Amino acid sequence: MRRATWMVLVGAIVAEVVATLALRAALDSPGWYALTAAGYVTAFVLLALLLRMGAKIGSVYGIWAASGVALTALLAAWLFGEALTWPMVLGIVVVMVGVVLVETGHTDDKPAAPGSAAPGSAAPGDATGPAGRRTEVGA
């Protein structure tokens, strides 16, 4: 991903984490609901922008979700005294490893458009002859 893409992704992660922490804070003070709504709207607008920029949904969503879970758990433990146990930490690590595997498993090839044949492939009933020329099968 390009640097601009990473910056937008970081913005989406921060917006989502802030919104989630504000949701927890709103239990004690309802004024935080405004920040919750603004944060979630901002996060999803930024995610949509990432897709328009050409980012792959699997990578973007995986990084966004895993980072959000990890940061929210760590910050909730610090800000609100919520539990952060070793099994929770292990779970966060496993999710992050999974995201890395999804990210590294992507290829840079774009899938063929629906109804179009991949380069070098033939449509049903056709065969590709020498030098990539198409020939009819059974003619």
Tens of pLDDT, residues 46-71: 999 999 999 999 889 989 999 999 99
Q: Which amino acid is at 51?
A: L
Q: How far apart are CA 106 and CA 112, in angstroms?
A: 15
Sole residue written with tokens 């709103």: 26
Q: How far apart are CA 18 and CA 12, in angstroms?
A: 10
pLDDT of residue 121: 47
Are 35 and 52 in contact by the 8 Å Cβ rule? The answer is no
Confidence bin at 107 (pLDDT 50/70/90): low
pTM (2 decimals)? 0.72
Is the pLDDT at 137 greater than 50? The verdict is no
Q: How far apart are CA 123 and CA 6, in angstroms?
A: 39
